[in-house]
Structure 1
């Protein structure tokens, strides 16, 4: 269940949480774990590389679903990473950014979204779907959301793997903005150690170039830290943009 209070946007896990130790990633959507009950497999919706996170023995948070017909009851929510000063959770659930965007909008914590009274998920565009449309007296605002798990030299970066889909979204947002529609990218940085945000040029240089072109065209970029804890996710501080 997603909850919002007046001072902070909070998104819960929606069910029970199970902790376990990472054994490894089996295939794209499956990861193996173990706990006191023995080995088991969980689903992950993160198709990126999760660069630097997949360390055998790392602690993990998994949400447990009782939905009938699911082959794997657990979904990977976060992995524990050892930092220079302390360990911290890194959220890897890629469904979180759009949910957090909506929770933050409902809580009135996004000044960029003032004047919009309606939130529509997954609006269509010519080549597929974006993540959100906000509308109201302020007009129309199209937003694509992305999950960020990579930090290098204190810079939170996206993507962690070459992303054709992400590049297509940048092209579409740029086209929309050039046609007069307000457009934005919401980057949910699900770890606390980034001091600013920029594109991962080493991973996908074309994405970096398209992001710079989008910003030059007027597409807005909103990078926010999302604090991950054992009771869910909370909107944290906004990061500066480093292009």
Structure 2
């Protein structure tokens, strides 16, 4: 029996990526027409934005929106790679509702975008043992069989790890959920070559008790399917 699928919006269809401009704009060819689409990915999308790359685009929920499509995924690593940065948060909540993540066994409720101190973390789950705080990240970079995060320097990401460590020191259970949609990935680790500060904070967080949940998922035109949890490479 195949794994349940977290669906893309109805009408999602393949096109061709032509170029990226001003961070949140991509020009695509769709059904023989050239048009501008929205991308919410503020990262570099290192190695993904190449002219002629196949792309998956979903129609805007509001037909009057200026940009009629959103970039969901691009072809990379022998499959589709999800570049929609909202996907990890949405998939985490959906997987919780579906009972798909063993890490969330016993959790009874979820509060998205929960505030902790001066930070806002992606989810707070209620469990019999107290709150479980989870931060979500989208992983699009891979090299030599390893999925890597981040693809650009991220002070914000490092601060999230510091906040998780602070909560962990207070006795809370905390984790980072990494959604990996690179078909060529067999393990996961921080991208030292991109952001040494984040990499050091990542391993410091593990030593402090922060859990890392890198989950590999398969993407097709229907949506995203969780497959298995990846091992974390040693520092």
| Interval of TM-score (by shorter of Structure 1 and Structure 2) | over 0.9
Q: Does 1:172 align with 2:163?
A: yes
Change (3 A) 1:68 1:21: closer
Q: Does 1:132 align with 2:130?
A: no
- The superposition leaves residues 206-227 of structure 1 with CA deviations (integer Å, 9 ceiling, x where unpaired) of 0000011110000000000111
Report deviation, 1:10.
2.1
Match of 2:184 among 167, 173, 193: 193
Match of 1:29 among 24, 48, 67: 24
Q: In structure 1, what is the Cα distance between the partners aligned to 2:153 and 2:134?
A: 21
Superposition map of 1:37-116 within 5 A? 37-81=32-76, 83=77, 87-116=78-107
CA RMSD of aligned residues (A): 1.5
Change (3 A) 1:35 1:69: closer
Residue 3 of structure 1 is matched in structure 2 by none
Q: In structure 1, what is the Cα distance between the partners aligned to 2:182 and 2:176?
A: 18
SS at match of 1:207: helix
Q: In structure 1, what is the Cα distance between the partners aligned to 2:49 and 2:140?
A: 12
> Which segments of 5 or more consecutive residues in structure 1 lack a partner in the other structure?
1-5
Query: How many residues are paired up?
Result: 234
- The answer to which of 145-154 and 37-46 deviates more is 37-46
Q: Is contact 2:24-2:39 (8 Å) kept?
A: yes
Change (3 A) 1:202 1:70: same
- The superposition leaves residues 66-123 of structure 1 with CA deviations (integer Å, 9 ceiling, x where unpaired) of 4154211201001112x4xxx3111111101111112222222222211110011110
Match of 1:153 among 144, 154, 160: 144
Report deviation, 1:178.
0.6
Calculate the TM-score normalised by the size of structure 2: 0.95
Residue 143 of structure 1 is matched in structure 2 by 134
Change (3 A) 1:66 1:218: closer
Q: In structure 2, what is the Cα distance between the partners aligned to 1:230 and 1:33?
A: 17
Q: In structure 2, what is the Cα distance between the partners aligned to 1:21 and 1:114?
A: 40
- The superposition leaves residues 168-214 of structure 1 with CA deviations (integer Å, 9 ceiling, x where unpaired) of 10000000001111100000001211111000011000000001111
Residue 199 of structure 2 is matched in structure 1 by 208
Report deviation, 1:148.
0.2
Q: Does 1:20 align with 2:20?
A: no
Residue 217 of structure 1 is matched in structure 2 by 208
Report deviation, 1:153.
0.8
SS at match of 2:184: coil
